[in-house]
Chain A
């Protein structure tokens, strides 16, 4: 069922947890709410569920206005961060709970309930644990049971609060894949909260990035990665190197370091250049494009790429830089810890000083191409 949020806001005392925001979620969509802690993502999820009341706005499930509907009548499935399984009930009783507390009129009979529970447990591949107690299960198993319990009443929407937060990396990955395939199979509308960008990008149809109680950007994962529209989204989505420069003579300067302003339709200005770590190449001397001396701090050759950590040499940056090189690239020029190297950017995003507009995408590749043609 589709979800429509209109002008939802929430305050806790003086604290504005959510600024008025609107969001439309299509039927069968899987939406990830992504943000750091305190960004209001869990509050938003709890408002959708009805566990928290909004101060203003409207919520619709399909054609149904649920704004003033009590949680128990909203017909949502909610999976809690710590699973919140009923400790004194067996796994089967946990899953059956939602069916057993139904009105006498709607409640399926005993055999029907048993049948449904059995089916749900098989769906989460834990049929053999029906008579165990939650304390005898592992974290991943608990999470699956929590999911089966939430799905037992065939809810209109499924809401998950940091569903994989408390699990170790391997189980998390496995469960993520499993949840996605379950979603594709059954097709429930679902919203989940996470602070893990990888999880959000991998699992969601669309990602809602939140910070400080408002929505920064709503986009499909690929689009979000290709066109982050604010510094915040950029910082939050993976490794990025920031070069803060003053523009003089078509070069961005930071102390002794500089980068040539790329060819751009818009006149350049002072500002910040965001360069992703895989958009850097390392050389033994400065080039026409850039003079970015960096000292190699660490080299990590494990994985598909060689990750090189770099400290600015005689210029300033708030954070350590990172360059991801392919192994062949690295083998051609194997930098060592302690060496000074010169970085050259290929593509980047430029944020103008004193502006809150979306960044301009900039590239140096066309220029070097032009020059070789000449």
Chain B
């Protein structure tokens, strides 16, 4: 036994301490290929049938460009709103003890659990002119349902968990001592928040907002029921893809989809790189 052991250890001198590297990486890559990369290749293949000029023509169609604008603006406003409100929600959930905290914590995930179409229909009913909120808001002359405002509402509803769930753990891990150090040095509460807490929170908050933004870019189910879908006014890009699909114009649908895909990917990569640099400074090399 001892001799066979020593032989084995001589053969595998540089074996990793953690076992299963090959197997786990292999299967991860396999599934990523299967469920992420393969469909994307399909997307690219379909657009490959078109020439460049045709591709350009499809993605710069006037109505489609209008939908880009609507989608980007709505997603931008929704994600900024989520950034503020999500930070507040995470703050309340981490910093204070109150009855029903657990329930509130669980409710945050509801938009993830709810089928987006259900969310869309519910929101549309609530904000319609004869709905609960819609009636109230109508007194002030504010229309939400079937306007771009409705798109923003639906987008922020479906993507708020991204902000809360990325900020929450970071907030939990902040050391109270840094804040106490700030106070003993004479800093006001606002200074402590702005100069000590926020810099540690930035990476998580920006990531959360970016995730929320990309999710909103691609949101379909929740939005179309409340958006009204008026060409040039409240049509979102995912709807344009859907319309092309219904016309059996698969290459055009893929072409528009590829625009959304590329925009999201570029944003996610950019955030990742920025965050990596920022965190490196915080934790050393």
Whether chain B is bound by chain A comes out as yes
Q: Please give the residue numbers on chain A whose beta carbons come within 8 Å of chain B beta carbons, in ascending order.
A: 49, 51, 71-73, 75-78, 80, 82, 84-89, 97-98, 101-102, 133, 135-136, 149-150, 152-153
Q: Is B113 an interface residue (CB 8 A)?
A: no
Residues of chain A within 8 A (CB-CB) of B185 are: 72, 97-98, 101, 149-150, 152-153
Stretch touching chain A among B78-86, B191-199, B242-250, B255-263: B191-199
Binds A, one of B10-18, B43-51, B149-157, B172-180: B172-180
Q: 6 extra interchain contacts, Cβ-Cβ under 8 A, other than A71-B184, A84-B175, A88-B200?
A: A71-B183, A76-B184, A78-B184, A97-B182, A135-B282, A136-B284
Closest 5 CB pairs of A and B: A135-B284, A98-B185, A84-B177, A101-B187, A88-B199
Min CB–CB distance A282 → chain B (angstroms): 47
Chain B residues touching A, majority SS: helix
A76 to chain B, nearest CB (A): 6
A-B contact count (CB 8 A): 78
Contact B187 A97 (CB under 8 A): yes
Q: Are B177 and A102 in contact (CB under 8 A)?
A: no
Known: A51-B180, A136-B284. A98 touches B199 (CB 8 A): no
A77 near B186: Cβ-Cβ < 8 Å: no
Choose among A77, A102, A133, A136 the residue that contacts B184 (Cβ–Cβ < 8 A).
A77
- Are the C-beta atoms of B281 and A88 separated by less than 8 Å? yes
A73, B188: Cα distance in complex, Å? 10
Residues of chain A lying within 8 A (CB to CB) of residue B117: none
Q: A87-B200, A88-B282, A133-B284 are in contact. Are A101 and B186 (CB under 8 A)?
A: yes
Task: Report whether B184 and A51 are in contact in the complex, using a CB–CB cutoff of 8 Å.
Answer: yes
* Among candidates A72, A75, A77, A133, residue contacting B188 with C-beta atoms closer than 8 Å: A72
Q: How far is B191's CA from A23's CA once the two chains are assembled, in angstroms? A: 34
Taking each of A88, A133, A135, A149, which has the highest tally of chain B beta carbons within 10 Å of its own beta carbon?
A: A88
Partner of B181, one of A75, A84, A136: A84
- B-chain residues with CB within 8 Å of residue A71 when the two chains form the complex: 180, 183-184
B95 touches A (CB below 8 Å): no
Docked complex Cα distance between A84 and B182 (Å) = 9
Instruction: Determine whether the beta carbon of B186 is less than 8 Å from that of A86.
Output: no
Asked whether any CB of chain A lies closer than 8 Å to the CB of B102, the reply is no
Contact, CB under 8 Å: A101 / B200: no
CB closest residue in chain A, given B278: A88
Is A72 within 8 A of B284, CB to CB? no
Q: Report the separation of the CA atoms of residues A78 and B196 in the bound assembly, to the nearest whole angstrom.
A: 17
Instruction: Give Cα distance in the complex from A75 to B283, angstroms.
Output: 31
Q: How far is the CB of B179 from chain A (nearest CB, A)?
A: 9
Closest to A70 in B: B183
**A106 nearest in chain B by CB position:** B186
List the A side residues contacting B283 at CB < 8 Å: 87, 135
Partner of A84, one of B178, B187, B199, B282: B178
A49 and B283 CA atoms in complex are apart in Å by 29
Report the bound CA distance from A267 to B188 in whole Å: 64
Candidate in A72, A82, A85, A135 with the most chain B CB atoms within 10 angstroms? A72
* B191 contact from A51, A101, A150, A153, Cβ within 8 A: A101
Q: Which residue of B lies closest to A134 (CB)?
A: B284
Find A80's partner among B180, B188, B196, B285 (CB 8 Å cutoff): B180
Contact (Cβ within 8 A) A49 B178? no
Q: Roughly how many angstroms separate A86 CA and B282 CA in the complex, as a whole number?
A: 9
A73 to B175, CA, bound (A): 22
Q: Which residues of B contact A153 (CB under 8 A)?
A: 185-186
Which among B181, B200, B282 has the highest number of chain A CB atoms within 10 Å?
B181
A108 to B89 CA separation, bound complex (whole angstroms): 38
Distance in Å: Cβ of A118 to nearest Cβ of chain B:
18
13 pairs, CB–CB < 8 Å, chain A vs chain B:
A72-B187, A72-B188, A78-B184, A80-B177, A84-B181, A86-B195, A86-B196, A88-B281, A88-B282, A98-B186, A101-B187, A135-B284, A152-B185
Closest CB of chain B to A86's CB: distance in Å? Answer: 6
